[in-house]
Amino acid sequence: MKRYAIEFNGYDYVILDQGSVVAAFATLDDAYQTMRDFEEKLPYAAESKIPPAMRWAKQNLYVMHG
């Protein structure tokens, strides 16, 4: 099943992600191109949100108790 969908809301062509509007465009071509770009992106990994210094500290300084 596709994650994104395009609908016309009476004014704009909107891209929906699980029912929520994530972008709106005046033309259908722009909406389809952007939807394709969204679908081709890799999911954003939670680990990439961690700053590099914190990631290094967790890998090298964390001591497990047990």
At 58 the pLDDT is 80
Q: What is the pLDDT of residue 39?
A: 85
Helix, strand, coil share (%) of the chain residues, nearest 5: 40, 25, 35
The pTM of this model reads 0.60
Each residue's pLDDT tens digit, 14-48: 999 888 999 999 999 999 999 998 888 766 665 56
Distance of CA 66 to the CA centre of its chain: 38
DSSP 16-40: EETTEEEEEESSHHHHHHHHHHHHH
